[in-house]
Amino acid sequence: MRVLLVQALSTEGPAPERVYPIGLVSLATHIKKAGHQVDILDMNLEEDPFGALKERLLDFQPEVVGLSLRNIDPLANKTSSLVPPFIVAVRLVASVLPGAWIIAGGTGFSLFPQRLMLELPEIHYGLVGEGEISFPALLSSLENPPSLKGLCRRDGGKVRVNLPARDFNMEQYVHPSRELLDPSLYLAGNNYVPPVGIEAKRGCSFQCSYCVYPRLQGRGLRCRPPAGVVDDMEILYKEYGIKRFHFTDPVLNHPRGHLEGICRELLHRRLDVRWSGFFREDCIDENNIGLFEQAGCECFSFSPDGLCQESLDILGKQLSEADILRAADLASRSDVVTVYHFMVNVPGETEQTCAKGVRLLERIYELHERKRNLGTVVLNNIRILPGTHIEAIAREKGVIGPGTDLLYPVYYNPEPFNAYRYHLETLNLYRNVFMWQGVKK
């Protein structure tokens, strides 16, 4: 069977920042292994994405088209949506190849499967969660599929959604068939993070009040053997010249010992690569931070999110201000660039918590001034996502109502602190410019 997998648009226009769709390539690998002919189109690489989709449909003549919606919107406080181009892509497939089966999936789709399938009758099936097992099984039973994990199917005027697959055995992880989509196509242009990702684990055991990772990947941590992770990196380095990687794990250095094992394997093989990921502050210490740097870490990305203890508690971070500053102190002594992500105007914000947030930012800059190794501080309002504790708080406080459509960008940013982010962004830019220019404030 001919199967075309399509990565729907993940940016709001032509952007230099590219992300290699590792999930789609991994899925294609399993489909190919099941005996099907597979092709991949990443619309984000194309100057004319819809023209490229039409051309690939006509050339390849797939019997099944899998459309992945990774992002529902660009986040970063923006109010544009990536749902409209996804809708257009689905309808284009249905119009160009009316006989093809259309299957939708991806992280964004998994958040709103019923809503999207009800809006798009052209979609025959959906899959939420992991698809390595369910997608090949669905291909062999399209006319009358069994009750597969994560399957979304129509039942009269309703859409039934099975519980998602969140149990793929990462010890049996199959190296993605990169020849299906050349990673070297993604090498030019990225400034923020490396475009090629590495999966070291799935799952997240934390319970942050705004986050959907546990819902999508489960709370149990499923770690790949360190040698297998480094095998991926070595293959990409030797066969494609990839020297920089970003780990896609929700939290890279948790559980303790796993990343350390990867680093020791990198050092043992003397693999000259650079990498980054999101780090948990209370899992950084004097011993492992040196190992991470020695093994090629080029950026510590911290996402403490709360700017004071009250905010940390509301966000369910299970962190203290002391944890953040201890990690910042250790990172600032290294030669690794550090980036921080914070959320602004969280529930319960007061004049006192705002003042505490300013003091925390000032302290972070003071620590990093000695080596000028602070990349940036990212400040966002909270994107309200369905099924999160933040959604419940927003409804209780009247920030959103029964008719609020969370499919499109909705942020938690009520008065009177709805402009607080701009004050912090001014402070952040001021301190950042003065730090990098070597000017005393």
277 inside domain: yes
Alpha helices, DSSP H, located in 333-388: 351-368
Q: How far is Cα of residue 317 from the mean position of the Cα atoms in its chain?
A: 18
Please check whether residues 153 and 196 belong to one and the same domain. no
Residue 178 included in any domain: no
Q: What region, left, alpha or beta, does residue 334 occupy, with left being phi > 0 and alpha being psi -120 to 50 degrees?
A: beta
> What pLDDT is recorded for position 234?
97
User: 165 — phi, psi (to 5°)?
Assistant: -80, 125
Looking at the structure, tell me whether residues 124 and 209 fall in a common domain.
no
Same domain? For 399 and 335 the reply is yes
Q: Is residue 407 part of a domain?
A: yes
The phi, psi pair for 134, rounded to 5°, reads -70, -35
**Residue 386 has which token pair?**
């369905």
* Integer Cα distance of 106 and 210 in angstroms: 19
* 242 and 141 in a common domain: no
Residue 397: give the domain boundaries.
192-436
Each residue's pLDDT expressed in tens, for the chain with a length of 441 residues: 999 999 999 988 766 678 999 999 999 999 999 999 999 999 999 999 999 999 999 999 999 999 999 999 998 899 999 999 999 999 999 999 999 999 999 999 999 999 999 999 999 999 999 999 999 999 999 999 999 999 999 998 999 999 998 889 999 899 999 999 999 999 876 777 899 999 999 999 999 999 999 988 999 999 999 999 999 999 999 999 999 999 999 999 999 999 999 999 999 999 999 999 999 999 999 999 999 999 999 999 999 999 999 999 999 999 999 999 999 999 999 999 999 999 999 999 999 999 999 999 999 999 999 899 999 999 999 999 999 999 999 999 999 999 999 999 999 999 999 999 999 999 999 999 998 888 887
What pLDDT score does 15 carry? 66
Distance between CA atoms of residues 124 and 316, nearest Å: 38
Verify that 198 and 319 share a domain, yes or no. yes
**269 inside domain:** yes
Q: Cα–chain-centroid distance for residue 17? A: 14
The pLDDT score that the predictor gives to residue 13 is 73
Phi-psi bin for 241: left (phi > 0), alpha (psi -120 to 50), beta?
left
pLDDT of residue 16: 67
Residues 334 and 282 occupy one common structural domain: yes
Name the strand (E) or helix (H) holding 377. strand 374-380
Domain-embedded: residue 336: yes
283 in Cβ contact with 256 (< 8 Å): yes
Residue 217's SS3 state is helix
Specify the CATH number for the domain of residue 416. 3.80.30.20
State whether 154 and 228 are in the same domain: no
CA pair distance 127, 115, nearest whole angstrom: 13
What is the model's pTM?
0.95
Range list of H helices, 34-131: 49-60, 83-96, 107-111, 113-119
Pairing of strands 201-202, 411-412: unpaired
Residues 157 and 204 in one domain: no
Secondary structure class of 122 (helix, strand, coil): coil
The CATH number of the domain where 143 resides is what?
A: 3.40.50.280
- 363, part of any domain: yes
Q: Could you give the C-alpha distances from 145 to 100, 126, 154, in angstroms and in order? A: 16, 12, 12
Within this chain, do residues 302 and 214 fall inside the same structural domain, yes or no? yes
User: Residue 422 has which token pair?
Assistant: 């701009």
Phi, psi of 364 (to 5 degrees): -60, -45
Taking the C-alpha atoms of residue 230 and residue 250, their distance in angstroms, rounded to an integer, is 18
Report whether 69 contacts 109 (CB < 8 A): yes
Q: What is the pLDDT of residue 11?
A: 85
Q: 167: exposed, middle or buried (C-beta count within 10 Å: 0-12, 13-18, 19+)?
A: middle
The most distant pair of C-alpha atoms in the chain lies apart, rounded to whole Å, by 70
Residue 348 falls inside a structural domain: yes
- Do 142 and 206 fall within a single domain? no
Locus of tokens 């690489």: 45
CA dihedral 234, 236, 237, 238 (to 10 degrees): 80
For 260, the token pair is 């350390």
Do 204 and 291 share a structural domain?
yes
Quote the number of domains for the chain: 2
Side-chain-side CA neighbours of residue 338 (13 Å) = 30
Tokens matching residue 428: 């952040």
166 in a structural domain: no
353 shares its domain with 253: yes
